[in-house]
Amino acid sequence: MTRQATKKKEAALELDVHGQPSKTKDRKKKRAVRLELAVVVAPQKEHVKKEKVVRDTFTMPRSDCEKIATLTQRCLDAGVAVNKSELLRAGLILLEAASEEHLRAAASAVEKIKTGRPPKAR
């Protein structure tokens, strides 16, 4: 067998990236380069587990609802779009960072109200 015939058989027996026999070395090189580029470009995704959300309802005076609307508008004027939920969660962050003395003062300043749904107006 000649050297050229041996090389052709070896090339036919070599497998390319997809497990198919490669027909020419040039194709194999191109596929290998594409594969390397795909590996370099593919971003590494870290699986971050999202915290589950809980839906809850509560009762508050109308004046507190008006305060939420006012604070939401102040945020919009400052260039920050927030909804009611985000605003309440921001308040929780501030209360959590407060000292025991400030937390006690804020909690005792809140008016105690009857819980549950208000009666239907007739």
Question: To the nearest 5 percent, what fractions of the chain are helix, strand and coil?
Answer: 55, 0, 45
* Whether 82 contacts 90, CB under 8 Å: yes
115-to-60, 62, 66, 80 alpha-carbon distances in Å:
8, 14, 19, 32
Per-residue tokens: 2:
């000649």
Dump pLDDT digits (tens) for 49-76.
Answer: 888 988 888 888 899 999 999 999 999 9
Count of other CB atoms within 10 angstroms of residue 32 = 13
pLDDT band at 47 (very low <50, low <70, confident <90, very high): confident
pLDDT at 99 over 90: yes
pTM for this predicted structure:
0.53
Q: What is the pLDDT of residue 43?
A: 60
